[in-house]
Amino acid sequence: MQNLRIFFAGGMSLSAPLSSSSFIIYKFLVPLYNKAMTEELKKTLQELADKYEVASFCDQDPSQFLRWYSEPEFVRGDVEAASFLAAMLAFGSRKQFIPKIRSVLEKADSSCGSFSRWLCSRAFEKDFPHGSEKFYRFYSYDDMQSFFGEMADILSGQGDARKCGLNMGTTSFGEYFHKKWKADERLHLADIISQSFPKSKIVPKGSSSANKRIHMFLRWMVRRNSPVDLGLWTWYSPANLLIPLDVHVMQEAARLDLLPSNAPASHRTALLLTEELAQVFPGDPCRADFSLFGLGVS
């Protein structure tokens, strides 16, 4: 009997056989949209994923920053930190946010050699502007300073800079969040990440929100054997990921009758769509992110 893993809005989860009783629980948590997943639709989504999950996908996508640091001298902390920065600023127009992400990484590299070194040395406090003027969209330079500060606290272990890349050490986001998750595996990893940035306005908050940017970052870190996603966090299962839910994904999903046309961009909707897509990609539902992207551009 197939197991159903359910994540509650507050981050709690349970795994149970997909019996009539667990179906009732799931129906209570996420109103089901009773549209059958046809074999034809499954085949279409699989073919689209094969077509668009290729290395060239990164060329015009924020995932291009996953490989900003690819040489052996860079530590994993650089890769994860640069990826997290890219994910948190990846909203709005790509023509606007991609240059913003690049400008931060170039400033960090020119100052300290890498983004994690820049954070752990807190060089951003003097290198990056302060003030209420907007850096990008809703976020000011002061908001970015707060964001960098909380990233630095995580990477440095509250001040031990020797561990975060200045001495080619091993402390990274992955290690930090792995320890937090192991302490309470009932929590979804996205909630753990959100709760680790209590002061930063840039990191999405709220257990009822879709938190698209965090789930996109998790897709990058967790999914294995992909020419796009890095799969660095092998300790977490791709089966537990939620689809990064944005307007375009929702529009395509609704067009395919995978979601009601009036579904809100919420945690519940992400759960519903992920369960639908798990029928197409068992154990790896977020591969369908490439399928829905492909539908949007084809």
Q: Are 276 and 258 in contact (CB under 8 A)?
A: yes
- What are residue 44's phi and psi, to 5 degrees? -60, -45
Question: Which structure tokens are listed for 71?
Answer: 């040489």
Q: Are 37 and 279 in contact (CB under 8 A)?
A: yes
Separation between Cα atoms, residue 79 and residue 66, nearest integer Å: 6
Separation between Cα atoms, residue 177 and residue 81, nearest integer Å: 13
pLDDT tens for residues 208-252?
A: 889 999 999 999 999 999 999 999 999 999 999 999 998 889 999
3-state secondary structure of 279: coil
Separation between Cα atoms, residue 143 and residue 131, nearest integer Å: 9
Q: Which residue has the tokens 């279409």?
A: 44
pLDDT tens for residues 74-99?
A: 788 899 999 999 999 999 999 999 99
pLDDT tens for residues 83-141?
A: 999 999 999 999 999 999 999 999 999 999 999 999 999 999 999 999 999 999 999 99
